[in-house]
Structure 1
Amino acid sequence: MKKWFSLLLVFMAVLTALPGTAMAKLPYMTAYYDPNQLSWFRIQPIYSPAGAFSADFGEPADLHVADDDRVYVADKKKDRIAVLSRYGKLLRIIGDAEGSGKLSGPEGVFVTPGNEVYVADSGNQRIAVFDENGRFRREYQKPDTPLLGSEHFVPVKLVVDRRGVMYIELNSSYQGLLRLNPKGEFMGYFGANKADQSMLNWLKKLVLNKEQMSKEKGALPKPITNVALDRDGFLYTATAGGEGKGAIRKLNAGGVDGFKNKTLENGHGIVDVAIDPEGFLYNVDLDSMRINIYDRSGQAMFEFGDVDKETQQYGVLGFPTGIGIDSQHAIWISDSATNTVHKYVRTAFGSSVLQALGLYADGKYEESKPYWEAVYARNDMYNGTFQGLGKVYLHEDRNDEALSYMKAAFDTDGYSKAFWQIRMDWLQRHFVALVTSLIALLLAVYFGRRAVRAYLVRHPFPVSWKDPLAYIRNLGYVLIHPYEGFYKIKEARIPAWITLFLLCLVIGIKLCRVYLTGFLFHPVDLSEVNLVKELALFALPWVTWIIANYLVCSIKDGEGRFREVIQGSVYALSPYVFFSVPTILLSNIASLDEAVIIHALNVVMTVWLLAMFIVMTQVIHNFEFLETLKNSAISVFTILTIWLFGFIVFGLSYNLYDFFYELYKEVNIH
């Protein structure tokens, strides 16, 4: 027995000593942005950490990846530029111990295609230039021009274009980038941000006179945070703040912003921007704490990574200060909190999806197909795959498949193109049958109406049906003759079940608009529709209108009773009923090229609805027209007041419930 027990102990010891299965999980999440749904969705990693390199940095303040993939890091604290290989190995130190080549607190670095190294030597208030071997060549100090006045020349970031013109960001300067030619002569400022005009400034201009305004401090533009240059010569400025508005601007030689000051997703806390060979943009953002990737138009595509000042975790940034992209699409980020340079490389999935997106952006749909298929094999839930393959199938005239994929991607533009082609093919094959069917339908309606009328003459409805049918028909009559129709409603005592029936008809029409409207004009996943929310949002304005209208008009000596206000408000919805039917039908046969028809019908319906409610108020309460307009406006204000009060009550009630619930949990626990 002891022998078997000893063998068992040995066996357990061996099992314990065996290595376990390694589970590699990245310390951050990755997500893609769907512009059709305006939402972020999680996805598998597209970039993974490939190293955190240190060359005994003191404070890496910026980095630049040269054309030969060498990484130049401005080390502010140690007064030097460290040059790393593509593998993170220290190759060279730039910056002399003494003399003209001695640096002082450099905060920016740029390397030209000719491997000249330009350094924003902030402490020495100059631009220092070194050759590829690190030998000092020349310097540019503050240009001698009265246009700069007393402004301090403290360069912090810079780029140099193919002509040798320097675009320099000065410390906290709101005037834009300072330009110097190769001789060091001042060429003016370039690419300044626009000053934000707040509501307060607008009110000041409205209230204050010229003398008072002259004493006010004007709104200043935000200073540029960083600057980058692409291979085509476009300058990209990064500006933090403004909730992402103008966070990245793409400036041509004339200073015109190709992005038109667009609002950037995850751009509020932007630190730096870089551009890869395909023209995709990369930034690192301290507000969202993510590394972000954008397409050539500045549309968000992916986000990943994490920022934590207290981090000791591999792959997590501490305080990023600069970003660069090498020719292999690796991302390099300088980090002054961990005093390292992080490197991220594309995963197999990331390589496939970004390659597919690059070819897709170039219009090379056939070439992108195998990459999209590789992406689909790894993730069949990524909407970009459906959009990409849909474009491929559209190009191949496989319109039925394109339609399906575009719908899955919620791409209404692509869906419309495929639908238009399918509709054209169908019309060419069935035109004669369609015309014949339409003629037959018109004849059936014409003769059917006559036959029904003749039948009703011989077999009339019971007398008890006369008034209910008249009340129901009045829904159509009030649409064309609102004044006469509402007078009939005011003088009649309509049974409650008729009012309820008409209200149910309106709700039924609402359900039809939700579930039967064509995808192009209602691009949602019907399985995810929150029906209760849809009906609540539809009914809430109508219910609060009834309450507000009755209360306001009662105070203003209106003659309408509460029952009459309810009845009139139901009949006032007649445009919604009669316009919705053709709108729903047309939405299923129209493409986006004919969208103006649908939009026109909706605009006419909305205007008609407003007119109906105004006429209803005038007739039911026996007001003059101007008095009706005034009381209607007061009713709208009352509606907003009711909503605000309801919101406050709901918020307080929820807080009270939360308080008692937490108290209940505390009592149960202790």
Structure 2
Amino acid sequence: MKFKKICMLMLAFLLLAGIPVYAAPYMSYTYDYWNVEVPSPHAYVPDKVITGLDVGVGQLKTPHDIFVDDNGHVYVLDTGNNRIIHLDSEWNLVRVISQFDNNGKTERFNVPRGIHVNSYGDIYVADRENGRIVVLDKDANLKMLVTSPAEDQPELFTSDFRFRPDKLAVDKYGTIYVISMGVYDGIMEFDEFGDFQGFQGAPTVNPTLADYIWRLISTKAQRARMKLFLPVEHSNIAVDKDGFVYATAIGGEIEEQERIRRLNTAGKDVLRRIETAPPIGDYIGNPSIFVDVVPRENGIYSILDRQRGRIFTYDANGSLLYAFGTLGDVDGAFRNPVAIAEKDGHLLVVDAIKNSVTVFRPTEYKEMIHNAVAYYDNGFYDEAAELWQKILERNSNYDLAYTGIGRALLMQGDYAGAMYNFKLANNRVEYSEAFKLYRKSVIEDYFGLILFLVAALIIYLLIITSKETEVDIAEAKAKVAATYAEVKEWEAMPKRPFKIKVRRLLRALRYSFKVIVSPFEGFWDLKHEARGNLSAALTILAGVVVTYLYMLQSTGFIFNEQNPRTLNIITEAVSILIPFFLWAGINWSLTTLMNGKGSFKDIVIASAYALVPFILINVPLTFISNYLSADEGAFYYLFLAISLIWSIGLLFFGTMVIHDYSLPGTIFVTLLILVGIGIALFIVLLFLDIIFQLFGFIQEVYNEFVFRL
């Protein structure tokens, strides 16, 4: 009996050994809010690799497209062999279509590059080098030929136009969307009868400034030889069940976010994009090259990237669900991926160099993600939140899971919980929406108390105001003058008590209010009447640094784009101090040579006093920002801009007053100072680079010496 069990166990191992199981040769990942790659569990793993030999049709040759029909049948476009390989849902060969009858004449494909099969089984083929679209019925009989539209509408095309359909897609109404090589006006649209209807969806051109300048200074002959600022050609298209056309485009001068678009019937791009993380593939290194797209359920779509052999899957909002794939020769990696399709949740990718189709099997992790999206879209918010929570147990760094939980809680009316999860996901847009609802509910709950406190405050202020007596202005002036004279006398004493120093500092700081509202008089008194001092200036500068750090740490989440993981208070403090002293040093160096009247001390004092508005505005503004929504951000940014413009203006007028310059002279000197700062920074960076290279050279010599011995 024991021997029988051992034999059965060995037989099971032998059977399992015959099943091809591929370890994933790639890392699956997503991007966090800061566009940093975050490893994640595998959403897909390689299942099998299918070649022409496996299905009994001989070696494939540069296949370029694949399509899965409503019955799960697979159509592989074997471009190099000018044929279509039709497989059933179990990957068994059904037929090979390499020719068709056209009114008694046998015709063949010539470099077919795109294929689509509709719900009736009709097969649409972009027969590129024959310059036509071939439409066959389900029995591979010719149904229609769509030829060059220039024959019927020559006014829409140039005299040298050649119809070379490369990719196509067909919607449920029979409308044919075609990408033709050499056509820059957009996607060509044909009706169900093959009549040309026009163009739609040309990508936006984004020529560089250098392109414009070069074109302006070029001769007429040179401009004639230049390339026009033409839209980039699309690389592939697909139609979803709702009739929207997904189109991919490759590189060039196209807007980065338009490498993938979703076009409605009017040709308008309606693809949803997250401003901070649009669906553009990889954010690191060279831009992704999208060569195909496959629409999926619930607005999800997957894009194939030829640059690194990656597959990026996004939801309807443009959030990255998962990414995987790599280049290489092992099974599960690509050498030249050109097309992608979906079959029963599996992803199929065609490789034009390996001449194969790689099948990727979904994991439980992928199923949970897609089910969570489906639950939310169908209004099952509790079930969606439960699934997102399970996903977090497998991948605690998955920002989208926190967003998913936040959305579910928001729909349930738990605004505080939604805010908490949106904050964990760094989702500021939806956090703002939850915050507005939370703020509204708090105000409604405590409206009576808030109204009572406001009324009590108003009554208190009225009582205090009514008890105030008029102050004798002359007496007050005399008292101020006497106090000022007394302070001057104390300052002249050889040894000043600590209290006098503090009083002097406070008086100098208080005078900053005069400077910021009356800059000409204020800066004059700072220099000539000694109304300010270096201690006060350094105190203000320290206040600027503290204010800046306070802003970085405490600005409301909606308006705070700082990454707390990389925030270094020393670095941030230095980023304020170095520009300040560079300004003062370069200012003194240049104005000394240009008859400037101010000393280095005068410049430091005036420059520090000029920064007082930055403190006065941004300290309360930072506090208030925690109670503003994104819709009210205009007020936040307005006051932030006022603080900066006010301080910059005071710096300018302070330079004018302490150096006794005219307005044109001050403008000229200010520009020179800015240029000088740029030169100084360049020299410092160059020096540091040389030092680092020197240390590197010494390290290499040392290592060589040690290893040689």
> TM-score w.r.t. structure 2 length?
0.82
Q: Which runs of structure 2 are paired with 1:58-207 in the superposition (5 Å)?
A: 58-96=61-99, 100-143=106-149, 144-145=151-152, 146-147=154-155, 148=157, 149-204=159-214, 206-207=216-217
Supply the distance in 2 between the matched residues of 1:463 and 1:381 (Cα, whole angstroms): 57
Partner residue of 2:335 out of 318, 321, 332: 318
Partner residue of 1:52 out of 49, 52, 57: 49
In structure 2, the residue corresponding to 1:107 is in which secondary structure?
A: strand
Partner residue of 1:222 out of 232, 235, 252: 232
Counterpart code for 1:435: V
Partner residue of 1:415 out of 431, 437, 442: 431
Supply the distance in 2 between the matched residues of 1:282 and 1:302 (Cα, whole angstroms): 10
Q: CA contact under 8 A between 1:234 and 1:250: conserved in structure 2? A: yes
Q: For residue 290 of structure 2, what is the aligned residue in structure 1? A: 270
In structure 1, the residue corresponding to 2:168 is in which secondary structure?
A: strand
Supply the distance in 2 between the matched residues of 1:599 and 1:408 (Cα, whole angstroms): 24
Q: For residue 606 of structure 1, what is the aligned residue in structure 2? A: 644
Q: For residue 596 of structure 2, what is the aligned residue in structure 1? A: 558
Q: CA contact under 8 A between 1:195 and 1:220: conserved in structure 2? A: yes
Q: CA contact under 8 A between 2:65 and 2:339: conserved in structure 1? A: yes
The Cα offsets for residues 472-516 of structure 1, whole Å up to 9 and x where unpaired, read as 222232222222221122125665444333322222222222223
The Cα offsets for residues 182-205 of structure 1, whole Å up to 9 and x where unpaired, read as 444444444333444332332245
The Cα offsets for residues 538-576 of structure 1, whole Å up to 9 and x where unpaired, read as 333323222332233233321111121111111111011
Matched, 1:650 2:688: yes
Q: For residue 40 of structure 2, what is the aligned residue in structure 1? A: 43
Q: CA contact under 8 A between 1:244 and 1:264: conserved in structure 2? A: no
Matched, 1:473 2:485: no
Counterpart code for 2:661: F
Q: Which runs of structure 2 are paired with 1:488-637 in the superposition (5 Å)?
A: 488-491=525-528, 496-522=534-560, 524=562, 526=564, 528-637=566-675
Q: For residue 31 of structure 1, what is the aligned residue in structure 2? A: 29
Q: CA contact under 8 A between 2:245 and 2:262: conserved in structure 1? A: yes
In structure 2, the residue corresponding to 1:48 is in which secondary structure?
A: strand
In structure 1, the residue corresponding to 2:106 is in which secondary structure?
A: coil
1:638 and 1:299, CA in 2 relative to 1: closer, same or farther beyond 3 A?
A: farther
Aligned length: 645
| Higher mean C-alpha displacement, 597-606 vs 118-127 | 118-127
Supply the distance in 2 between the matched residues of 1:437 and 1:639 (Cα, whole angstroms): 54
1:404 and 1:633, CA in 2 relative to 1: closer, same or farther beyond 3 A?
A: same
Q: Which runs of structure 2 are paired with 1:205-216 in the superposition (5 Å)?
A: 206-207=216-217
Q: CA contact under 8 A between 1:73 and 1:83: conserved in structure 2? A: yes
Supply the distance in 1 between the matched residues of 2:21 and 2:607 (Cα, whole angstroms): 64
Supply the distance in 2 between the matched residues of 1:489 and 1:361 (Cα, whole angstroms): 66
In structure 2, the residue corresponding to 1:337 is in which secondary structure?
A: coil
| Higher mean C-alpha displacement, 238-247 vs 332-341 | 238-247
Supply the distance in 2 between the matched residues of 1:42 and 1:115 (Cα, whole angstroms): 41
How far did 1:136 drift? Answer: 4.1
Supply the distance in 2 between the matched residues of 1:527 and 1:123 (Cα, whole angstroms): 56
Matched, 1:285 2:301: no
Counterpart code for 1:265: I
Partner residue of 1:296 out of 316, 324, 335: 316
Gaps in structure 2 of 5+ consecutive residues: 1-9, 54-59, 282-286, 470-475, 488-497
> TM-score w.r.t. structure 1 length?
0.86
The Cα offsets for residues 227-277 of structure 1, whole Å up to 9 and x where unpaired, read as 211112222221110473421122222222224999742264111111112
In structure 2, the residue corresponding to 1:225 is in which secondary structure?
A: strand
| Higher mean C-alpha displacement, 231-240 vs 118-127 | 118-127
| Higher mean C-alpha displacement, 516-525 vs 456-465 | 456-465
Supply the distance in 2 between the matched residues of 1:181 and 1:425 (Cα, whole angstroms): 53
| Higher mean C-alpha displacement, 113-122 vs 475-484 | 475-484
In structure 2, the residue corresponding to 1:77 is in which secondary structure?
A: helix
The Cα offsets for residues 144-164 of structure 1, whole Å up to 9 and x where unpaired, read as 233443323332211223343
The Cα offsets for residues 400-437 of structure 1, whole Å up to 9 and x where unpaired, read as 32222122112223333443444444443342564377
Partner residue of 2:523 out of 478, 481, 486: 486
Supply the distance in 2 between the matched residues of 1:189 and 1:594 (Cα, whole angstroms): 41
Supply the distance in 2 between the matched residues of 1:223 and 1:527 (Cα, whole angstroms): 41
Q: CA contact under 8 A between 1:79 and 1:105: conserved in structure 2? A: yes
Q: CA contact under 8 A between 2:552 and 2:562: conserved in structure 1? A: no
In structure 2, the residue corresponding to 1:169 is in which secondary structure?
A: strand
| Identity among equivalent pairs (%) | 26
In structure 2, the residue corresponding to 1:231 is in which secondary structure?
A: coil
1:437 and 1:218, CA in 2 relative to 1: closer, same or farther beyond 3 A?
A: same
The Cα offsets for residues 206-230 of structure 1, whole Å up to 9 and x where unpaired, read as 4468898567552222222112111
Supply the distance in 2 between the matched residues of 1:183 and 1:399 (Cα, whole angstroms): 54
| Higher mean C-alpha displacement, 98-107 vs 283-292 | 98-107
In structure 2, the residue corresponding to 1:314 is in which secondary structure?
A: coil
Q: For residue 11 of structure 1, what is the aligned residue in structure 2? A: none
Counterpart code for 2:637: H
1:213 and 1:436, CA in 2 relative to 1: closer, same or farther beyond 3 A?
A: same
| Higher mean C-alpha displacement, 197-206 vs 317-326 | 197-206
In structure 1, the residue corresponding to 2:698 is in which secondary structure?
A: helix
Q: For residue 376 of structure 1, what is the aligned residue in structure 2? A: 392
Partner residue of 1:393 out of 396, 404, 409: 409
How far did 1:438 drift? Answer: 4.8
Supply the distance in 1 between the matched residues of 2:262 and 2:616 (Cα, whole angstroms): 49
Supply the distance in 1 between the matched residues of 2:466 and 2:544 (Cα, whole angstroms): 29
Q: CA contact under 8 A between 2:299 and 2:315: conserved in structure 1? A: yes
Q: CA contact under 8 A between 1:269 and 1:287: conserved in structure 2? A: yes
Q: Which runs of structure 2 are paired with 1:432-471 in the superposition (5 Å)?
A: 434-435=453-454, 438=457, 463=500, 465-471=502-508
How far did 1:449 drift? Answer: 12
In structure 1, the residue corresponding to 2:112 is in which secondary structure?
A: coil
Q: For residue 638 of structure 1, what is the aligned residue in structure 2? A: 676
Q: For residue 5 of structure 1, what is the aligned residue in structure 2? A: none
Q: CA contact under 8 A between 1:69 and 1:86: conserved in structure 2? A: yes
How far did 1:341 drift? Answer: 0.7
1:364 and 1:288, CA in 2 relative to 1: closer, same or farther beyond 3 A?
A: farther
Q: CA contact under 8 A between 2:50 and 2:356: conserved in structure 1? A: yes
CA RMSD in angstroms, aligned pairs only: 3.6
Gaps in structure 1 of 5+ consecutive residues: 1-13
Supply the distance in 2 between the matched residues of 1:216 and 1:335 (Cα, whole angstroms): 35
Q: CA contact under 8 A between 1:130 and 1:137: conserved in structure 2? A: yes
| Higher mean C-alpha displacement, 278-287 vs 570-579 | 278-287
How far did 1:305 drift? Answer: 0.8
